[in-house]
């Protein structure tokens, strides 16, 4: 009797485990199932393109992206609310220890290279800036356009960015301001799209957004930008000139000549090797990387063709 009872309980547990492997009783595999992923909002345009193609190729897969700040994306991964996140940084040692104590071993895999773009009102004649001047603007040492250009007729700068917890802001604090806090006068919007809207309507504004957002969708060559705003050229030199300043064109990102360049990472914690791994394989594979190449960013594995262009300042 006891043996029959134990066998019955074992069968029930096995049956329950099989049914909990996926929603609607369907087992999650590399190419099927339903998952959520977290994506830093800075990468929304490219991820929407990627997911559109991926789900057309794998109709049995249902992927719901959660577009949020970088901090929230990593927190969702840490809480096991998602098993894949797209950010512009690797997992930190502290975050890895948190996973390891729970017997999880996540990976940080480079997917692409991107950059931070500085945008102004389309009528603003000031199109050149040094990295040092950008640092002084971000920390509040420069507050007037005349401090940047004595001939400027504009007044007080209105500096706007997407979100206090975004990867864009963390990049500026860590890589540009070297840990120094941002000026309290900077204004946060809810998204990169709202930053573009604000700058397009505000002559004194300067916006800080992901380079992924500035492309001109009507231009398949990716050699022009959003016509609603002006994209500034940035120089690492002490004085910005047309010869030593660069805009975030794909070639300048690839050659690291544009100084505000960063990486895009896939953070994945998928011990079962199921649908998150399938998506990661697509994103880093030939098809996924080709989409990144066509978007104007730099794929991690595909070559980039360099085209010489004349940049008008």
Check which CATH number belongs to the domain holding 281 and give it. Answer: 3.40.190.10
In 3D, which of 279, 265, 276, 263 has the Cα closest to residue 80? 276
State the Cα–Cα distance between residues 40 and 208, nearest whole angstrom. Answer: 15
Domain extent for 212:
115-258
Query: Do 119 and 191 sit in the same domain of this protein?
Result: yes
Q: Is residue 20 included in any domain, yes or no?
A: no
Tell me: pLDDT of 296 over 90.
no
Average pLDDT for the chain: 86
pTM: 0.83
Task: Compute the distance between CA of residue 120 and CA of residue 154 in angstroms, rounded to an integer.
Answer: 12
Distances (CA, A) of 107 to 92, 94, 277, 286: 11, 14, 11, 20
Lowest mean pLDDT among 64-78, 216-230, 262-276, 286-300: 216-230
Confidence of residue 11 (pLDDT cuts 50, 70, 90): very low
202 and 125 in a common domain: yes
Please tell me the total count of domains within the chain: 2
Considering only CA atoms, which of 212, 195, 231, 197 is closest in space to residue 122? Answer: 231
pLDDT exceeds 90 at position 212? no
Q: At what angle do helices 93-100 and 70-78 cross, to 10 degrees?
A: 20
Question: With 70 as the cut, is the pLDDT of residue 8 above it?
Answer: no
Instruction: Report the pLDDT averaged over residues 26-35.
Output: 88
Give the pLDDT band (50/70/90) at residue 308. low
pLDDT value at residue 222? 61
pLDDT at 161 over 70: yes
Helix, strand counts (H, E) of the chain: 11, 12
pLDDT at position 221: 60
Task: Write the CA distances from 118 to 53, 114, 124, 199, 201, integer angstroms.
Answer: 30, 13, 13, 10, 15
Query: Does residue 306 lie within any of the structural domains?
Result: no
Q: How many CB atoms lie within 10 A of CB 236?
A: 15
Instruction: State pLDDT tens for residues 252-295.
Output: 999 999 999 999 999 999 999 999 999 999 999 999 999 999 88
Residues 36 and 152 both lie in one domain: no
Q: 10 Å Cβ neighbour count for 103? A: 7
The confidence score (pLDDT) of residue 116 equals 93
Residue 223 binned pLDDT confidence (cut-offs 50, 70, 90): low
Q: 38 in helix, strand or coil? A: strand
Please indicate, yes or no, whether residues 48 and 123 belong to a single structural domain of this protein: no
CB atoms within 10 A of CB 55: 14
What's the pLDDT score for residue 18? 39
- pLDDT category of residue 17 using cuts at 50, 70 and 90: very low
Please report, to the nearest 10 degrees, the dihedral formed by the alpha carbons of residues 141, 142, 144, 148 taken in order.
160
pLDDT at 19 > cutoff 50: no
pLDDT tens digits along 106-157: 999 999 999 999 999 999 988 999 999 999 999 999 999 999 889 889 999 9
The answer to whether position 22 is within a domain reads: no
Please state, in angstroms and as integers, the Cα–Cα distance from residue 305 to each residue in 54, 293, 302, following that order.
Answer: 24, 9, 10
Whether residues 120 and 246 share a domain: the answer is yes
Region 182-203: what's the mean pLDDT?
91
- The answer to whether residues 305 and 109 touch, using CB atoms and an 8 Å cutoff, is no
Confidence of residue 214 (pLDDT cuts 50, 70, 90): confident
Per-residue b/e over 159-180, b at no fewer than 16 CB within 10 Å? bbbbbebbbbbbbbbebbbeee
Token pair listed for 305: 């063709």
Q: Does residue 2 sit within a domain? A: no
C-alpha distances (whole Å) from 271 to each of 60, 84, 275, 276 are 21, 11, 11, 10
Helix or strand holding residue 48 (H, E): helix 44-57
Whether residues 73 and 200 fall in one domain: no
Instruction: Tell whether the model's pLDDT for residue 15 goes beyond 50.
Output: no
């Amino acid at each position: 009797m006891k043996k029959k009872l134990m066998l019955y309980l074992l069968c029930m547990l096995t049956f329950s485990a099989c049914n909990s492997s996926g929603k609607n009783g369907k087992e999650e595999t590399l190419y099927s199932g339903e998952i959520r992923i977290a994506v830093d909002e800075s990468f929304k345009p490219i991820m929407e393109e990627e997911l559109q193609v991926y789900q057309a190729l794998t109709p049995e897969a249902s992927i719901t992206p959660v577009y949020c700040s970088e901090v929230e994306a990593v927190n969702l991964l840490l809480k096991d609310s998602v098993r894949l996140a797209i950010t512009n940084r690797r997992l930190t040692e502290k975050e890895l220890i948190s996973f390891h104590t729970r017997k999880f071993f996540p990976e940080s895999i480079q997917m692409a290279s991107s950059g931070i773009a500085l945008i102004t009102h389309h009528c603003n004649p000031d199109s050149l800036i040094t990295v040092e001047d950008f640092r002084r603007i971000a920390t509040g040492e420069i507050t007037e356009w005349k401090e940047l250009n004595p001939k400027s007729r504009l007044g007080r700068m209105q500096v706007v960015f997407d979100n206090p917890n975004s990867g864009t802001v963390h990049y500026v604090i860590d890589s540009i301001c070297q840990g120094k806090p941002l000026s309290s006068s900077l204004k946060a919007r809810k998204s990169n799209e709202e930053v573009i809207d604000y700058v397009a309507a505000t002559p004194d504004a300067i916006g800080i957004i992901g380079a992924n957002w500035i492309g001109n969708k009507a231009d398949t060559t990716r050699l022009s930008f959003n016509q609603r705003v002006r994209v500034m050229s940035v120089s690492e030199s002490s004085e910005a000139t047309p010869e030593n300043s660069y805009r975030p064109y794909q070639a300048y990102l690839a050659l690291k000549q544009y100084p505000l360049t960063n990486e895009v990472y896939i953070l994945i914690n998928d011990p079962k090797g199921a649908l998150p791994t399938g998506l990661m394989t697509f994103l880093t594979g030939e098809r996924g990387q080709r989409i990144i190449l066509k978007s104007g960013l730099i794929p991690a594995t595909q070559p980039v063709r360099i085209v010489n262009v004349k940049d008008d300042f």
